[in-house]
Amino acid sequence: MPQFFLNKRLIILLVSIIILVALIGFSLRDRDRLTWPEQFVKDTTGWVQTIFSRPAHFVAGFFENVTDLQNTYDENKQLKARLDGLAKLEADVQQLTKDNKELREILDKQDTLSAFKPIQATVIGRNPDRWHELLIIDQGEINGIKRNMAVITANGLIGKVKSTRQFTSTIQLLSAMDPTNRISARIEGGAKTYYGTIEGYDKDRELLKMKRIPYEAKIEKNQLVMTSGLGGIFPRGLPIGKVVEVVPDEYGLNQTAYLKPGANFYDIEHVMVVKREMLQPDLGEMIDEKEEEL
Amino acid sequence: MRKFLLPTIFLILFIIESIFVELLPAELFNSANILVPRFLIIAILFLTIYGIRNQGIIYAFIFGLLFDIVYTEIIGIYLFMFPLVAYIVSKIMKVFHSHIVIVTVVSLIGVALLELSVYEIIYLIKLTTMDFTSFLQLRLLPTIILNLAFAIIFAYPLKRTFEKYTAAITNE
């Protein structure tokens, strides 16, 4: 067998397969931070991406504006119809906000789970191979972005921050196939509020899956789903989507709801990273205590 | 100046892939078909065939690593597959005469090979649940067509650039 082991190419191939497996294993670990060479490379390319993406978006925006002009007449009609209801809605909102504030003052409870500070960011890159649904944005740690923060557009939640560098960060969309991507959510609009977790995405139907809803819950179509704020990092009340269908889960113990996401996962240019104002509980402590009890 | 020619071309293609996916019209994006731009590997394969083979493999290695770090955050897949595809294509080209049509077809075979093996690895580490038949229909076929369009448009300019570059290097 000496000849077999002397074959240089074969040895190179075998060694590189070992390195491949080791590297994939290393990067699939639940990493808190990227290593510093990765951060350096990503920040440097992020800078180049910014230079390229600004003019590209400008040109694309121009063509989009031209196509928008063609729909203006129809849109204007629809918007006018909705305008009548708007004045009343606005008055109601003002009244309610005032009431809410006054009541809070009476209760002496200032902090809420729903208070948040948005950080504006622009998308400068998207993963081209489309196995991983990742976006790169032009704001990083120096702007106050941390891992696992919620990311929204004007229409609703789109994902969370996967990793951060000094000047850029990576967002993982809700449509990514990642079993660790879970968000505590609640269904509103019915007689009772029900809680569940957003887990997974149905690629064919383009619907989000909300699992672990109690079996006795009565949920109708078009009920709103929002974040609950109980996960510890996301604020309360970020819109996620609307219920399309509810089915019992595979063992019949819980229900699974299919949601139509409010935000479009494709046409994303500007996003907001959401920083919760209320204190974040230290999850590490909670888990340690539990383990001691066991 | 000549020193920076190749890195600049590859870097621009590297960034254009991401911008292409970002700006792809929503109708194309929302349809079940998945179009993946593989412009970078096509250019690298052209360099491997028309330029110096080892240089092509080295660029494949560098840009594979860059692709992994910047876009996927899983190091290893493209780092391994880019050079391997470049190597296999260079072996295939030993059999054929390097006519531009044949080179285009062979580089598309390289793209198909890359897609296929990346799918296998991603499937193995359970980042997708897509089955093989829908992968072929929804992903591989549209990707090949998109990259065929790119290869047809840029085959001649790429060939000229790399041949000129190689000639200049060997003359020195």
The ipTM value here is 0.83
- pLDDT at B150 (0 to 100): 92
- pLDDT at B89 (0 to 100): 92
Q: What's domain A116-278's superfamily in CATH? A: Rod shape-determining protein MreC, domain 2 (2.40.10.350)
Residues of chain B in contact with residue A129, where contact means CB-CB under 8 angstroms, are: 36, 67, 71-72, 118
pTM value is 0.83
Given a cut of 50, is residue A255 above it in pLDDT?
yes
- pLDDT at B39 (0 to 100): 92
pLDDT tens column, A126-135:
888 888 888 9
Q: How much is the average pLDDT of A66-92?
A: 86
- pLDDT at A206 (0 to 100): 82
Mean pLDDT of chain A: 83
Cross-chain Cβ contact B21/A130 below 8 Å: yes
Q: How much is the average pLDDT of B83-107?
A: 90
DSSP A142: G
Point out the least confidently predicted range of A73-77, A231-235, A282-286. Answer: A282-286
Q: How much is the average pLDDT of A222-251?
A: 85
Given a cut of 70, is residue A117 above it in pLDDT?
yes
Domain boundaries, chain A: 38-110, 116-278
DSSP A222: T
Who has greater pLDDT, A110 or B7?
Answer: B7
Cross-chain Cβ contact B76/A41 below 8 Å: no
**The most confident of A10-24, A56-70, A171-185, by mean pLDDT:** A10-24
Q: How much is the average pLDDT of A158-165?
A: 89
Q: Which residue has the tokens 């993963």?
A: A127
Mutate to test the interface with B, among A15, A129, A133, A199 (most CBs of B within 10 A): A129
C-alpha distances in Å from residue A265, one per residue of A45, A126, A217, A236 = 23, 11, 29, 21
Cross-chain Cβ contact A128/B11 below 8 Å: no
Q: What are the backbone dihedrals phi and psi of residue A144, each rounded to the nearest 5 degrees, phi first? A: 95, 15
Query: Is residue A233 exposed (0-12), middle (13-18) or buried (19+ Cβ within 10 Å)?
Result: buried
Task: Tell me the pLDDT band of A284, cut-offs 50, 70 and 90.
Answer: low
Cross-chain Cβ contact A127/B66 below 8 Å: no
Query: Considering chain B, what percentage of its residues have pLDDT values greater than 70?
Result: 95
* Beta-strand relationship, A239-248 and A254-261: antiparallel
Residues of chain A in contact with residue B74, where contact means CB-CB under 8 angstroms, are: 24, 27-28, 132
> Which parts of chain A are beta strand (E)?
116-126, 134-137, 150-153, 156-164, 169-173, 182-188, 194-202, 207-214, 224-227, 239-248, 254-261, 270-276
Nearest residue to B40 (alpha-carbon basis) of B82, B93, B2, B87: B82
Given a cut of 50, is residue B1 above it in pLDDT?
yes
Q: B127, A177 in Cβ contact below 8 A?
A: yes
Cross-chain Cβ contact B26/A56 below 8 Å: no
- Virtual torsion, Cα A42, A48, A51, A54, nearest 10 deg: -40
Among A16, A34, A60, select the one facing B23 at the smallest CB separation: A60
**Chain B residues near any Cβ of chain A (below 8 Å):** 11-12, 15-23, 26, 29-30, 32, 34, 36-37, 66-67, 69-77, 79-80, 118, 121-122, 125, 127-130
Cross-chain Cβ contact A130/B23 below 8 Å: no
What are A209's two structure tokens?
Answer: 């899956």
**Least CA distance to B32: which residue of chain A?**
A204
Cross-chain Cβ contact B36/A136 below 8 Å: no
